[in-house]
Amino acid sequence: MSDKIKIYKNCLLDLDETLLDFHASEKIGLEKVLRAKGLSFSEEIYAAFKVYNKSLWKELEKGTICREELFTKRFAYIFGECEGDSSDLDPLAVNHEFINTMSQNGVLLDGALEFVKRIKEEIKDLKIYVITNGATVNARGRIASTGLDRFLDDVFISEDMGVTKPSIEYFDMVLDKIKQPKESCIVIGDSLTSDMLGAKNASMVSIWFKPEGDIESAVKEYGIDYTADSYDEIINALKEWDKKHSF
């Protein structure tokens, strides 16, 4: 007699801008670290950091710099924007402190905790997994610091796995770990190019959170099943999906 595996409704939830506010944590981390070093901090300094950081990430994607160069360069640059003496500071060491500080200061999007609580309570046999591209310490730390971890069944971080959304390998690895069929999974996220494309690549049902731009053509192109502007709308979509599928 073979053991029958219980099938759940599996929510694969993106992290940043779906449950947590990445930029709010980044700003807190930067301010705390710069001030601790006796340097100034302002909205202008944070804006300059974001612009320069973005250009460095593009360089990294092109392969013209490595991660360590990115981490060093962004702080060497930002020291030059701050008032105060930074002559003795090591940009790479300060970057390390910044990542740690940021990871201890997760910021929930409004209503996010209530949302995960509600879907567990209102939909029977539902599991919640986080699927996120990013650094392990940063994602795990921010999740734990907000109390979100109490409601999650597991967290899948690209740095741990060695593969990233939207690749089919990433989603196959998640299915392998949760031992559930793809038909039982629904992907929820704000990004077209990682979450919605990932769901399409993996042939999973999808909910596009906070859709923007040319919604109609994006829905067609990525084969999106539901769109939702709020957590209430995600819950409604989940209930509709739940009604249509019994496993």
Toward Mg ion, which CB reaches closer, 21 or 81? Answer: 21
Of residues 36 and 215, the one with the C-beta less far from Mg ion: 215
What is the Cβ-side half-sphere exposure of residue 110, based on CA atoms within 13 angstroms? 2
Q: Is 17 in the site for Mg ion (CB under 5 A)?
A: yes
Host H or E run for residue 33? helix 22-36
Query: Is position 26 an interface residue for Mg ion (rule: CB under 5 A)?
Result: no
**10, 16, 71, 145: residue in contact with Mg ion (rule CB under 5 A):** 16
d(CA 167, CA 185): 16
Q: Two tokens at 183? A: 């038909």
Q: What φ, ψ does residue 155 adopt, rounded to 5°?
A: -130, 130
CA angle 125, 226, 12 (to 5 degrees): 45
Q: Which is nearer to Mg ion, 17 or 242 (CB)?
A: 17
For Mg ion, the closer of residues 16 and 81 by Cβ is 16
Among 190, 201, 210, 233, binds Mg ion (CB under 5 A): 190
Q: How far apart are CA 6 and CA 244, in angstroms?
A: 18
Structure token pair of residue 227: 């769109």
Binding region for Mg ion (CB under 5 A) out of 16-24, 111-119, 136-144, 210-218:
16-24
Q: Which stretch binds Mg ion (CB under 5 A): 77-85, 97-105, 186-194, 212-220?
A: 186-194
SS3 228: strand
Smallest separation (angstroms) from Mg ion to the CB of 160: 18
Among the residue ranges 10-18, 48-56, 141-149, 215-223, the one whose residues contact Mg ion (CB under 5 A)? 10-18
- Residue 172 in contact with Mg ion, rule: CB under 5 A: no
Q: How many residues bind Mg ion (CB under 5 A)?
A: 5
Which of 41, 36, 5, 9 minimizes the C-alpha distance to 244? 9
Q: In terms of CB distance, is 16 or 21 closer to Mg ion?
A: 16
* Binds Mg ion by CB under 5 A, chosen from 9, 13, 14, 78: 14
User: What are the DSSP calls for 44-100, one per residue?
Assistant: HHHHHHHHHHHHHHHHHHHTSS-HHHHHHHHHHHHHHHSSS--TT--HHHHHHHHHH
Between 96 and 210, whose beta carbon lies closer to Mg ion?
210
Instruction: Kindly indicate which of the ranges 14-22, 111-119, 152-160, 200-208 contains the residues binding Mg ion, using the contact rule CB under 5 A.
Output: 14-22
Q: Tell the smallest beta-carbon distance from residue 18 to Mg ion (Å).
A: 5
Comparing CB distances to Mg ion, the nearer of 131 and 219 is 131
**In the complex, least distance from residue 189 CB atom to Mg ion, rounded to whole angstroms:** 5
- Residue 43: Cβ-neighbour burial (10 angstroms; 0-12, 13-18, 19+): exposed
Footprint of Mg ion on this chain (CB under 5 A)? Answer: 14, 16-17, 190-191
